[in-house]
Amino acid sequence: MSFVRWLHHLDQDATLWLNSLNTPFSDGIWQMFSDARVWIPMYAALALLLFARTGWKKALVILASIGLTFACTNELSDIVKSAVLRLRPVWDNYMVEGGLHRLEGRGGWYGFFSAHSANVFGLAAALTMGMRQDRSRDWKGFSWMMYIWAALVAVSRVFVGKHFLGDVLVGAAVGLVAGTLFGCLARWIIGKYL
Protein backbone atom coordinates (compact mmCIF):
# COMPACT_ATOMS: atom_id res chain seq x y z
CA MET A 1 0.00 0.00 0.00
CA SER A 2 1.37 3.41 -0.94
CA PHE A 3 1.87 6.12 1.66
CA VAL A 4 -0.91 8.25 0.14
CA ARG A 5 -3.43 5.37 0.30
CA TRP A 6 -2.36 4.56 3.86
CA LEU A 7 -2.80 8.23 4.83
CA HIS A 8 -6.23 8.32 3.18
CA HIS A 9 -7.37 5.20 5.09
CA LEU A 10 -6.06 6.68 8.33
CA ASP A 11 -7.98 9.89 7.59
CA GLN A 12 -11.15 7.92 6.82
CA ASP A 13 -10.95 6.01 10.10
CA ALA A 14 -10.11 9.13 12.16
CA THR A 15 -13.01 10.99 10.55
CA LEU A 16 -15.46 8.13 11.19
CA TRP A 17 -14.35 7.96 14.82
CA LEU A 18 -14.70 11.71 15.38
CA ASN A 19 -17.98 11.87 13.46
CA SER A 20 -19.37 9.03 15.61
CA LEU A 21 -19.08 11.14 18.78
CA ASN A 22 -22.46 12.71 18.05
CA THR A 23 -25.46 13.14 20.29
CA PRO A 24 -28.83 14.73 19.58
CA PHE A 25 -27.76 17.70 21.74
CA SER A 26 -24.38 18.18 20.08
CA ASP A 27 -25.83 17.81 16.56
CA GLY A 28 -27.61 21.16 16.88
CA ILE A 29 -24.46 22.85 18.18
CA TRP A 30 -22.32 21.50 15.32
CA GLN A 31 -24.91 22.56 12.76
CA MET A 32 -24.91 26.05 14.23
CA PHE A 33 -21.10 26.28 14.12
CA SER A 34 -21.11 25.00 10.53
CA ASP A 35 -23.64 27.57 9.27
CA ALA A 36 -21.73 30.67 8.08
CA ARG A 37 -24.88 32.83 8.23
CA VAL A 38 -25.11 32.42 12.01
CA TRP A 39 -21.85 34.31 12.39
CA ILE A 40 -22.80 37.44 10.43
CA PRO A 41 -23.70 39.41 13.61
CA MET A 42 -20.35 38.39 15.13
CA TYR A 43 -18.51 39.54 12.00
CA ALA A 44 -20.31 42.90 12.19
CA ALA A 45 -19.43 43.25 15.89
CA LEU A 46 -15.78 42.41 15.16
CA ALA A 47 -15.68 45.04 12.41
CA LEU A 48 -17.15 47.65 14.79
CA LEU A 49 -14.62 46.66 17.46
CA LEU A 50 -11.83 46.97 14.91
CA PHE A 51 -12.92 50.49 13.90
CA ALA A 52 -13.35 51.51 17.55
CA ARG A 53 -9.96 50.22 18.68
CA THR A 54 -7.71 51.02 15.71
CA GLY A 55 -9.34 53.98 13.94
CA TRP A 56 -10.97 54.01 10.54
CA LYS A 57 -7.82 54.12 8.38
CA LYS A 58 -6.12 51.18 10.07
CA ALA A 59 -9.42 49.30 10.26
CA LEU A 60 -9.93 49.62 6.50
CA VAL A 61 -6.43 48.26 5.83
CA ILE A 62 -7.01 45.35 8.22
CA LEU A 63 -10.42 44.61 6.69
CA ALA A 64 -8.80 44.64 3.25
CA SER A 65 -6.26 42.09 4.50
CA ILE A 66 -9.11 39.89 5.72
CA GLY A 67 -10.89 40.25 2.36
CA LEU A 68 -7.70 39.28 0.52
CA THR A 69 -7.32 36.30 2.86
CA PHE A 70 -10.84 35.10 2.05
CA ALA A 71 -10.34 35.61 -1.68
CA CYS A 72 -7.04 33.73 -1.59
CA THR A 73 -8.26 30.79 0.49
CA ASN A 74 -11.51 30.40 -1.46
CA GLU A 75 -9.77 30.51 -4.83
CA LEU A 76 -6.99 28.17 -3.70
CA SER A 77 -9.55 25.75 -2.26
CA ASP A 78 -11.45 25.66 -5.55
CA ILE A 79 -8.24 25.08 -7.53
CA VAL A 80 -7.06 22.30 -5.22
CA LYS A 81 -10.48 20.61 -5.12
CA SER A 82 -10.53 20.52 -8.93
CA ALA A 83 -6.96 19.20 -9.10
CA VAL A 84 -7.06 16.60 -6.30
CA LEU A 85 -10.63 15.33 -6.87
CA ARG A 86 -10.97 13.83 -3.40
CA LEU A 87 -14.58 12.91 -2.71
CA ARG A 88 -16.33 14.39 0.28
CA PRO A 89 -17.14 11.81 2.98
CA VAL A 90 -20.84 11.88 2.02
CA TRP A 91 -19.92 10.62 -1.49
CA ASP A 92 -17.37 8.03 -0.27
CA ASN A 93 -18.90 4.52 -0.09
CA TYR A 94 -16.47 3.42 2.64
CA MET A 95 -17.58 6.33 4.82
CA VAL A 96 -21.30 5.85 4.18
CA GLU A 97 -21.09 2.11 4.83
CA GLY A 98 -18.98 2.84 7.92
CA GLY A 99 -21.88 4.77 9.45
CA LEU A 100 -21.06 8.39 8.61
CA HIS A 101 -23.47 10.63 10.52
CA ARG A 102 -24.66 13.39 8.18
CA LEU A 103 -26.42 16.56 9.32
CA GLU A 104 -26.40 18.62 6.12
CA GLY A 105 -26.95 18.12 2.42
CA ARG A 106 -24.20 16.47 0.44
CA GLY A 107 -22.77 19.57 -1.21
CA GLY A 108 -20.32 19.36 -4.09
CA TRP A 109 -18.44 16.20 -4.97
CA TYR A 110 -14.99 17.22 -3.79
CA GLY A 111 -13.85 18.50 -0.43
CA PHE A 112 -10.06 18.70 -0.21
CA PHE A 113 -9.37 21.11 1.38
CA SER A 114 -12.04 22.76 3.54
CA ALA A 115 -12.64 26.38 2.54
CA HIS A 116 -14.67 26.87 5.75
CA SER A 117 -11.66 25.87 7.81
CA ALA A 118 -9.27 27.99 5.75
CA ASN A 119 -11.53 31.03 5.97
CA VAL A 120 -12.07 30.97 9.72
CA PHE A 121 -8.41 30.35 10.53
CA GLY A 122 -7.42 33.03 8.01
CA LEU A 123 -9.83 35.44 9.67
CA ALA A 124 -8.47 34.59 13.12
CA ALA A 125 -4.87 35.12 12.00
CA ALA A 126 -5.41 38.37 10.08
CA LEU A 127 -7.79 39.87 12.65
CA THR A 128 -5.67 39.09 15.70
CA MET A 129 -2.63 40.57 13.97
CA GLY A 130 -4.71 43.63 13.14
CA MET A 131 -6.05 44.07 16.66
CA ARG A 132 -2.46 44.27 17.92
CA GLN A 133 -2.35 47.69 16.24
CA ASP A 134 -4.22 48.85 19.34
CA ARG A 135 -1.32 48.83 21.78
CA SER A 136 -3.43 50.04 24.71
CA ARG A 137 -4.55 46.47 25.41
CA ASP A 138 -3.20 42.97 25.64
CA TRP A 139 -5.07 40.99 22.98
CA LYS A 140 -3.96 37.49 24.03
CA GLY A 141 -7.40 36.59 25.42
CA PHE A 142 -9.05 37.83 22.25
CA SER A 143 -6.61 35.80 20.14
CA TRP A 144 -7.31 32.65 22.12
CA MET A 145 -11.07 33.14 21.71
CA MET A 146 -10.72 33.66 17.95
CA TYR A 147 -8.62 30.52 17.49
CA ILE A 148 -10.90 28.40 19.69
CA TRP A 149 -13.90 29.64 17.68
CA ALA A 150 -12.07 28.85 14.42
CA ALA A 151 -11.26 25.34 15.64
CA LEU A 152 -14.90 24.71 16.58
CA VAL A 153 -16.14 25.94 13.20
CA ALA A 154 -13.55 23.80 11.42
CA VAL A 155 -14.26 20.60 13.36
CA SER A 156 -18.01 21.14 12.91
CA ARG A 157 -17.45 20.30 9.23
CA VAL A 158 -16.42 16.78 10.28
CA PHE A 159 -19.42 16.41 12.59
CA VAL A 160 -21.92 17.45 9.91
CA GLY A 161 -20.34 14.94 7.49
CA LYS A 162 -19.04 17.43 4.91
CA HIS A 163 -15.28 16.97 5.32
CA PHE A 164 -12.61 14.53 6.33
CA LEU A 165 -10.48 15.52 9.32
CA GLY A 166 -7.53 15.91 6.94
CA ASP A 167 -9.51 18.39 4.81
CA VAL A 168 -10.07 20.50 7.90
CA LEU A 169 -6.47 20.32 9.13
CA VAL A 170 -5.04 21.28 5.74
CA GLY A 171 -7.63 24.05 5.42
CA ALA A 172 -6.63 25.39 8.85
CA ALA A 173 -2.95 25.41 7.85
CA VAL A 174 -3.69 27.19 4.56
CA GLY A 175 -5.84 29.75 6.38
CA LEU A 176 -3.17 30.41 9.00
CA VAL A 177 -0.53 30.97 6.33
CA ALA A 178 -2.75 33.23 4.20
CA GLY A 179 -4.06 35.19 7.19
CA THR A 180 -0.56 35.66 8.57
CA LEU A 181 0.85 36.79 5.21
CA PHE A 182 -1.94 39.29 4.56
CA GLY A 183 -1.88 40.35 8.22
CA CYS A 184 1.86 41.08 7.89
CA LEU A 185 1.17 43.03 4.71
CA ALA A 186 -1.46 45.10 6.55
CA ARG A 187 0.93 45.71 9.43
CA TRP A 188 3.64 46.82 6.99
CA ILE A 189 1.24 49.21 5.19
CA ILE A 190 0.05 50.65 8.50
CA GLY A 191 3.61 51.09 9.77
CA LYS A 192 4.81 52.72 6.55
CA TYR A 193 1.85 54.91 5.56
CA LEU A 194 -0.37 55.40 8.61
The pTM of this model reads 0.94
Q: Which amino acid is at 181?
A: L
Output the DSSP codes for 40-61: HHHHHHHHHHHHHHH-HHHHHH
CA 14 to chain centre: 19
- Helix, strand, coil percentages, rounded to 5, for the chain: 75, 0, 20
Amino acid at 185: L
pLDDT the model gives residue 139: 87
Residue spans of alpha helices (H) in 55-105: 56-84, 93-97
Please check the confidence at residue 21 and state whether its pLDDT lies above 90: yes
Residues 82-107: tens digit of each pLDDT: 999 999 999 999 999 999 999 988 88
Quote the pLDDT of residue 105. Answer: 82
Residues composing the chain: 194
